[in-house]
Amino acid sequence: MNKAILIGMTGLALGLTACGKKQPPIDTAPPITDPSAGGDTGIPADDAVDLVELPGMQADLVAKAGSDTVYFGTDEYALDDASRATLAAQARWMLANPSVRASIEGHADERGTREYNLALGERRANSAKAFLVANGVPETRLTVISWGKERPVAMGSDESAWAQNRRAVTVVVR
Amino acid sequence: MKKPLLFALLLTSAFPAMAQDDPPPLEVDVVGGITAPMAIAVPAMPVAPGAGDSLGHQIAEVIASDLRSTGLFTPLGPRGIGGYSFAQASSPIYAEWRNAGASALVSGYVEPRADGRITVGCYLFDIAAGRELARQGFAVAPSNWRSAAHKCADTIYSRLSGEQPFLDTRIVYVAETGPKTNRQKRIAIMDSDGSNHRYLTEGKATVLTPRFSPRGDKLVYMSYQGRRPRVYVMDVATGAERLLVPGTAFTFAPRFSPSGDRIVFSMANGGNTDIYVVGSSGGTPQRLTAAPGADTSPSFSPDGRRIVFESDRSGSQQLYTMNADGSGQRRITFGGGAYASPVWGPRGDLIAFTRIGGGAFRIGVMSPSGGGERLLTNAWQDEGPSWAPNGQFVMFHRTARGSGQASLYAVSVNGGTARRMPTPLGGSDPSWSPLNR
């Protein structure tokens, strides 16, 4: 009881300080029940550190693994055989480049509402991340974000475009 | 015997009893149906020397535009109709306005004050009955004349409709430019008639779903700055922003509580999205839902005791309500569609939502128990409702199929055609402010 109050008060004090100062992360992750997801919460949290793309390394990933993207069915987040093969190749690349970190980024097509699509994108990214971890990539090198329906790659409002937009992209970051 | 006959004669004589002579009270019917809008004259106001000559016309233009936007009035003027003198502001020549076809008249005046501000007088007259219905005076800085015009329009609207005011408000929303595949988004704020438009973010980071605090002085929203999507709080006046939950947890879908002391939001981790609440100044978030599934779009009831949200825990997106502490979660939608983005109305009696079905998104309202569902729009993709503070109008964004261009629209909760809001560029995720102070 006292500890909880102390944490709350500390959090309050931290909340009132200016943005940009280093603050300890709040551990709000629910209990991990998926054994393949590992026991940690991902990249060590430091909210002063932005995720920055590395185009050169990204090109190498695509060249060596074949693709940085896997695709999903409508309203689905399960991996199919093609996705698993792609991710296995990505995992090998990441193990061959041990200093590299990646942001696994999930996307949804335009046929869902804004906030639900943010959640769906996170499910897709998490599926991909879990597979990478199961294939030996340390979870501390991976983070998950969702772009919802905000970053389509295909412009159309048709099945072909939607299929291209339902994806998870492994983005190499500094 | 004779007395009743005399009484009857009196009723039909040339000097009828008062109940027969008074025209019915002047009012606009806000409840359903197609009612002919009321013709209301809004001539340019007389302006005393030293107060700014063009103000009289500008103020009348804003009042006329505001009244037209309610859907209940057909304003006459200020263009094309004559003005009047200071004396006539409070004593109009009714016959002239009757001849012009007006049922009502908005008059007033503008004069300078000793303290450097201006006084804007505002009168409402029932032309048929030949009597004054309302008067108000507003003291404002000359540069803030629009505020006086909106408040005058609100006085007119409220008096004639019986509804609470809503015109003296602001809209915050996401301004959009560019093609679907390279969309730039910035938070923007404007008066509810599109004036005083300015941007609050630069556009380098994608921003989503800005929402006003209950006093209209802060915004809560989600930003991708640093490529880390998280919830921030911004002070509207200064632009200063603060991360709500320290750390890199993925947070989104935030809303203030009605008292402003809490912010409810979603956090996603490990493939699961749940709803949390935290003090709006910071603190340890308290988890409210834990079901497997995507729980998001939480919205407080106006008394702050309950929350409505969407969840796909049943297999499709449906609406649920719960107590503010997370207890008592229960599903309220069983109408055969999928439902999203619920927002509890300010009067407590309605929840606005997006209904998903048949390849379309439509805006609707229902009671907090899930009954009485009514759809208000019918286009390809209308989503993200936000209530006017008087509970009479709902704003949302409409996306065009193909181009993916989004625009803001407002629709009356009583039905009718949605009206496009004036924005310089595309727009989405609108949030309607409380009444300006």
Rounded CA separation B141/B51 (Å): 10
Query: Phi-psi category of B215—alpha, beta or left, where left has phi over 0 and alpha has psi -120 to 50?
Result: alpha
The domain that holds B43 is classified in CATH as 3.40.50.10070
Q: In this complex, do B404 and A157 lie within 8 Å of one another by their Cβ atoms?
A: yes
Query: Phi-psi category of B194—alpha, beta or left, where left has phi over 0 and alpha has psi -120 to 50?
Result: left
Residue B15 counted as domain residue: no
Please say which residue of B138, B161, B184 terminates a domain.
Answer: B161
Does one domain contain both B148 and B175? no
Partner residues linked to B104 by β-bridges: B40, B126
Residue B9 counted as domain residue: no
Residue A60 counted as domain residue: yes
Q: What is the sign, positive or negative, of the torsion defined by CA atoms of A150, A156, A157, A163?
A: negative
Residue B22 counted as domain residue: no
> Is the pLDDT assigned to residue B8 strictly greater than 80?
no
| Sole residue written with tokens 């939502």 | B353
Does one domain contain both B147 and B216? no
Average pLDDT over residues B120-148: 97
Inter-CA distances, A156 with B232, B408, B427, Å: 32, 22, 20
Q: Confirm if B270 and A136 have CB atoms less than 8 A apart.
A: no
Residues A85-105 pLDDT 10s: 999 999 999 999 999 999 999
Given this model, what pLDDT does residue A27 score?
38
Secondary structure of B362-379 as H, E, C letters: EEEEECCCCCCCEECCCC
Average pLDDT over residues B328-342: 95
A-B contacts at Cβ under 8 angstroms: 184
Residues B151-184 pLDDT 10s: 999 999 999 999 999 999 999 999 999 999 999 9
Buried b (16+ CB within 10 A) or exposed e, A54-67: beebbebbbeebeb
Residue A27 counted as domain residue: no
DSSP B389: T
| CB nearest A30 (choices: B181, B244, B270) | B270
Residue A140 counted as domain residue: yes
A6 and chain B in contact, CB less than 8 A: no
CB atoms within 10 A of CB A137: 24
| Sole residue written with tokens 């998001």 | B296
> Is the pLDDT assigned to residue B5 strictly greater than 70?
no
| CB nearest A50 (choices: B206, B227, B310) | B227
Largest CA distance in chain B: 93
Given this model, what pLDDT does residue A22 score?
42
Please say which residue of B161, B183, B208 terminates a domain.
Answer: B161
Rounded CA separation A94/A73 (Å): 26
The ipTM is 0.92
Residue A113 counted as domain residue: yes
Q: In this complex, do A114 and B383 lie within 8 Å of one another by their Cβ atoms?
A: yes
Does one domain contain both B303 and B368? yes
Given this model, what pLDDT does residue B30 score?
66
Contacts of residue B49, Cβ cutoff 8 Å, sequence gap at least 6:
none
Q: In this complex, do A115 and B229 lie within 8 Å of one another by their Cβ atoms?
A: no
Q: In this complex, do B246 and A23 lie within 8 Å of one another by their Cβ atoms?
A: yes
Does one domain contain both B156 and B178? no
A78 and chain B in contact, CB less than 8 A: no
> Is the pLDDT assigned to residue B47 strictly greater than 50?
yes
> Is the pLDDT assigned to residue B13 strictly greater than 60?
no
Structure confidence at residue B22 as a pLDDT band (50, 70, 90) = low
Rounded CA separation B347/B353 (Å): 15
Rounded CA separation B119/B305 (Å): 42
Q: Give how many domains chain B has, as a whole number.
A: 2
Given this model, what pLDDT does residue A3 score?
43
The domain that holds B357 is classified in CATH as 2.120.10.30
Given this model, what pLDDT does residue A17 score?
38
Residue A85 counted as domain residue: yes
Residues B212-249 pLDDT 10s: 999 999 999 999 999 999 999 999 999 999 999 999 99
Residues B355-395 pLDDT 10s: 999 999 999 999 999 999 999 999 999 999 999 999 999 99
CB atoms within 10 A of CB A34: 13
User: What would the two tokens of residue A133 be?
Assistant: 């971890």
Q: Give how many domains chain A has, as a whole number.
A: 1
Provide the shortest C-alpha distance from residue B401 to chain A (in Å): 6
Strands A142-148, A101-107: pairing is: parallel
Q: What is the sign, positive or negative, of the torsion defined by CA atoms of A39, A40, A41, A42?
A: negative
Does one domain contain both B295 and B426? yes
Sheet holding B230-235, edge to edge: B207-212, B218-223, B230-235, B241-243
Does one domain contain both B177 and B154? no
Average pLDDT over residues B186-193: 98
Q: Which residues of B touch A28 (CB under 8 A)?
A: 245, 247, 249, 267, 269, 276, 285, 287
The domain that holds A65 is classified in CATH as 3.30.1330.60
| CB nearest B282 (choices: A11, A51, A144) | A11
Residues B50-72 pLDDT 10s: 888 899 999 999 999 999 999 99
Nearest CA in chain B to A50: B226
Q: Average pLDDT, whole number, for chain B?
A: 93
Instruction: Enumerate long-range contacts of B61-64, CB under 8 Å, 24 or more apart.
Output: B62/B146, B62/B149, B62/B150, B62/B153, B62/B193, B62/B195, B63/B106, B63/B149, B63/B152, B63/B153, B63/B156
**Which residues of A, range 43-62, sit inside 8 Å of B by Cβ?**
43, 45-47, 49-53
Query: Phi-psi category of B391—alpha, beta or left, where left has phi over 0 and alpha has psi -120 to 50?
Result: left
CB-hemisphere CA count at 13 Å for B284?
Answer: 12
> Which residue, among A122, A126, A132, would best test binding to B if mutated, counting the most B CBs under 10 Å from its CB?
A122
Residue B209 counted as domain residue: yes
Residue B306 counted as domain residue: yes
> Is the pLDDT assigned to residue B11 strictly greater than 80?
no
Does one domain contain both B223 and B126? no
Residues A33-90 pLDDT 10s: 323 333 333 323 344 578 999 999 999 999 999 999 999 999 999 999 999 999 999 9
Residues found in chain B: 437
Residue A36 counted as domain residue: no
Residue B121 counted as domain residue: yes
Q: Is B406 helix (H, G, I), strand (E, B) or coil?
A: strand
Structure confidence at residue B312 as a pLDDT band (50, 70, 90) = very high
Sheet holding B198-199, edge to edge: B198-199, B184-191, B170-177, B426-432
| CB nearest B384 (choices: A24, A114, A153) | A114
A110 and chain B in contact, CB less than 8 A: yes
The domain in which residue B255 lies consists of 170-432
Residue A116 counted as domain residue: yes
Largest CA distance in chain A: 57
Residue A81 counted as domain residue: yes
Please say which residue of B111, B139, B161 terminates a domain.
Answer: B161
Q: Confirm if B136 and B122 have CB atoms less than 8 A apart.
A: yes
Structure confidence at residue B31 as a pLDDT band (50, 70, 90) = low
Residue B383 counted as domain residue: yes
